[in-house]
Structures are given as structure tokens and as C-alpha cells.
Amino acid sequence: MGNRILVKAPAKINLSLDVLHKRDDGFHEVKMIMTTIDLADRIELDELQDDKITIVAQNRFVPDDDRNLAYQAAKLLKERFAVKKGVSISISKIIPVAAGLAGGSSDAAATLRGLNKLWNLGLSIDKLAEIGAEIGSDVSFCVYGGTAIATGRGEKIEHISSPPPCWVILAKPTIGVSTADVYRNLKLDQVEHPNIDAMVQAIHNHDFKGICNNVGNVLESVTLKMHPEVNHIKMQMQRFGADAVLMSGSGPTVYGLVQYQSRLQRIYNGLRGFCDQVYAVRLLGNRNES
């Protein structure tokens, strides 16, 4: 066994998620504001002299073959840059699986960043993000981290300043949501589109109240109808006193922004009464430089 590198793979939440139209390639044109939070998987990359890629994952919901996005990231780098060494990728899963938090995409992004160092490829972060876009829509954003406006399929990234620090409380019901199903059932003529310009302005001004007033996700119009338990979590989180409440991605995770720690414990305890997967973390906001 050769060198070893450890990389954190943080989750993301959507402060805004708008869908503009369906594209000719079958994907939807989106406009989103995403930011990273301090809930992270840990990726351990061990260099192998054998020319192979192995995935070690303790979580039975994480595939250990070529369906795994971290595997796909390693394979892409190996093929594109003719790397003859192999790698063992150990994934310590903290981010819930299929939760709307980009856990798999962040694992892939962390693998790209880590292997760039492990294999001495010397690629810029922009190049890594470009390669990441070939793996999945959220991978480019996860390569950079921080806070950004994402357009196209989600792969075109424009960095913006970080929101003011606050707590983020997340609750995930014990269901999975198919992103494809959600998009298939989305009726764009019947949704209320979030005001993304107002959100960008609020973030720029470090205006916490303005951020809370402008959170929005058009995919809620589908997921909340398909899965009443997601709506129940949202309503309870509001009742317990979160400053803003929104579903992340296509769900089913719901998050609340909370300015004061004194209120955080009450919300956490209230949610734990009926939901197993509850997390209280901070916004990260800082982007990766390499």
C-alpha cells in the first residue's frame, strides 16, 4: 500500500431551486442557489500498486461497484490521464443516502480533489469541476464548495459571497424519493417561482431575515404531495420555531435555518420525537481552493 489522503465531502442545501423549462436533451434547465453545510462524509484514498479501483463502504445503501459516483470519478481520471496505479476508496457515510443533500456527488467531488493530489495530476480546481460535470449535475458545485448560483443542469457555477453564519437543522424521513419521478410530475405552469435575485441580494447584504423570506423550491410542489410525511416535517419544523424551512433538492430532507442556538435545542428535541435522522450543523460557506 502506498500513500494515503483523507478528504472531507460536505453536504449541500438549496437556498433556492427554480426549474425554468425542459430542454431538448431531456434534462431540465435549472437555476439554484446552493451552499455547503458542516455535515460531511469522510473519504480515505489509499494508493494501490495494482491497476484497480476498489470501494470500501460500511453502509449497505452505498454501492461498491461502478454505480458509485466516487468509483466513476476515479475511473474517469485514470482513463483520461493514463494513470497506471490503482486506488482503494473508503467512504465513511455521515450524509443520509438519497436525501437531496448531494452526498454521492460530494463523495465524487472529494475523490476528484483527493486523487488530483495522490496521483500528482496538477489539475486546477476549474478543470476538476469541468470533469465533475461529466459524472453528475451537482458534482461541479461540490468540487468548489462554498455558495454559488448553479444554472444549466446545475453544472454551470457562479460563485457568490457566503450567507451570514447560522445553524442548519435537518430532518430526513425514512423514505426515498426518486428525482426522476419528481421532475416527471412537475407542472411548471402551476408553481410559484422563487425570487432568486432577491435571495442573491440578501446573501450579498448578509441579511439573514431577507434570506429567510426568500427561500423557495419549486420541487416541493411535487414531493410534498407525493410524500405527506415530508410536509409533516416541514410544518412541525415551522411550529417549533425555525426561522426558515425548506426541502432540499428533490427531497425528502427538510432543513430549517436557525439564528440562535437557544432555539436550536428545542427544535432538535421536537423533531427527534418522531424522526430518527435529525442533524444540527453550521453553514460552511467557504469554497475550496484546491
Catalytic residues: 12, 138
Pairing state between β 167-172 and 156-159:
unpaired
Alpha carbon distance 286, 280 (integer Å): 18
DSSP state of 64: -
DSSP state of 155: T
H helix intervals, the chain: 69-80, 103-118, 125-132, 139-144, 179-184, 196-204, 208-214, 220-226, 228-240, 261-272
Interior CA angle at 94 toward 175 and 186, to 5°?
Answer: 40
Cβ-based burial of 25 (10 A; exposed 0-12, middle 13-18, buried ≥19): exposed
Phi then psi for residue 3, to 5 deg, are -70, 160
222, 185 contact by CB (below 8 A):
yes
What residues contact residue 66 under an 8 Å CB cut-off, 6+ apart? 72, 75
286, 145 contact by CB (below 8 A):
yes
Q: Could you tell me the three cell numbers for 70?
A: 466516487
Phi then psi for residue 285, to 5 deg, are 80, -30
- Look up residue 5 and give its amino acid: I
